[in-house]
Amino acid sequence: MDSLISDDLTIEGDIEVKSGKLVVAGKVDGNITADSVEVREGGAVQGAVKAENVNIQGKHSGKIDCTELSLNARSDVRSDVTAKSMTSEKGAKLVGKVQITG
């Protein structure tokens, strides 16, 4: 089951999703822990994200620790990243330290 932070919502504080996916269309200022995290275009996260799968279409700044990271062409990521694998579309922006552990 997906949990949604809609585009008109701003959350200040840490979020933990016990099971399932967190979809961020609004703004989060805090750390996120979930099975899967999707930051949609127009969405923004400032803080650490820890999940199996992370898909960024919007903005993220902080730290990302995941198994699989996907960056959309419009993503803007300013984070230190640790991932087992990463895919990036042409146009994606990533600034920070990146460790791909395979």
- Going residue by residue through the chain (102 aa), what tens digit of pLDDT does each one get? 799 999 999 999 999 999 999 999 999 999 999 999 999 999 999 999 999 999 999 999 999 999 999 999 999 999 999 999 999 999 999 999 999 998
Mean per-residue pLDDT over the chain, rounded: 97
Q: State how many domains the chain has.
A: 1
Longest CA–CA separation in the chain, Å: 37
Structural domain boundaries enclosing 79: 2-100
pLDDT digits over 15-27, tens only?
999 999 999 999 9
Burial bucket for residue 16 (CB in 10 Å: 0-12, 13-18, 19+): exposed
